[in-house]
């Protein structure tokens, strides 16, 4: 959390269930202006599945409720009209699957020019699902001076190449899953 909070790019290797969502959402929310009225999002979280998009969005809602944080999950299989309306009304954080994010970006509905932080959660899964080109296009559409946080359970060579291209002097961290005590 401290590395993300200070604005450093982070390359983290962490399994599911290690507290990654809190590790990136709490610092993003800490920097968020309370009851912000700007329409463009300041944070983009990319996730591999709609289920994870919903789960991460719910965490952001829960943690950012008192700030009035406007969080929008966007993913395929949900009515795009509702997502377009929400983007037009204004959001602070977009949690998206890469395909839907790219679709909204290409439509001109998802504005990324004010993005301060991009988080790639379960990045290895997104690459395994064939989202490499989508991720590259989305990252290329964000400001060069953004903070980038990448979490992955594994660090395959192609993920390392993506990290080298898009992260600036990242802090590298490894989070091991806690071992259950014997007899638990």
Claim: this prediction has a pTM higher than 0.85: yes
Which stretches of the chain are DSSP H helices? 2-5, 20-31, 50-64, 80-89, 98-106, 123-128, 132-140, 157-166
pLDDT digits (tens), the chain, 184 positions: 888 989 999 999 887 777 789 989 999 999 998 888 888 999 999 999 999 999 999 999 999 999 999 999 999 988 899 999 999 999 999 999 999 999 999 999 999 999 999 999 999 999 999 999 999 999 999 999 999 999 998 888 888 889 999 999 999 988 776 555 555 4
**Euclidean distance between CA atoms 67 and 82, whole angstroms:** 23
- Other CB atoms within 10 Å distance of the CB of residue 88: 10
């Amino acid at each position: 959390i401290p590395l993300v909070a200070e604005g450093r790019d982070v390359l983290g290797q962490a399994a599911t269930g290690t507290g990654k969502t809190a590790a990136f959402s709490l610092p993003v929310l800490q920097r968020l202006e309370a009851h912000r009225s700007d329409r463009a999002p300041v944070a983009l979280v990319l996730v591999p599945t709609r289920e994870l998009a919903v789960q991460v969005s719910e965490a952001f809602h829960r943690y950012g409720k008192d700030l009035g944080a406007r969080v929008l999950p966007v993913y395929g299989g949900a009515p795009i009209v509702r997502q377009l309306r929400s983007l037009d009304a204004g959001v602070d954080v977009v949690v998206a699957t890469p395909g839907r994010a790219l679709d909204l970006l290409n439509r001109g509905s998802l504005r990324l020019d004010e993005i301060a932080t991009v988080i790639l959660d379960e990045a290895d899964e997104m690459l395994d699902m064939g989202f490499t080109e989508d991720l590259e296009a989305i990252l290329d559409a964000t400001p060069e001076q953004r903070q980038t946080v990448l979490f992955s359970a594994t660090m395959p060579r192609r993920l390392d190449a993506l990290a080298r291209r898009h992260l600036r002097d990242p802090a590298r961290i490894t989070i091991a899953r806690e071992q259950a005590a014997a007899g638990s």
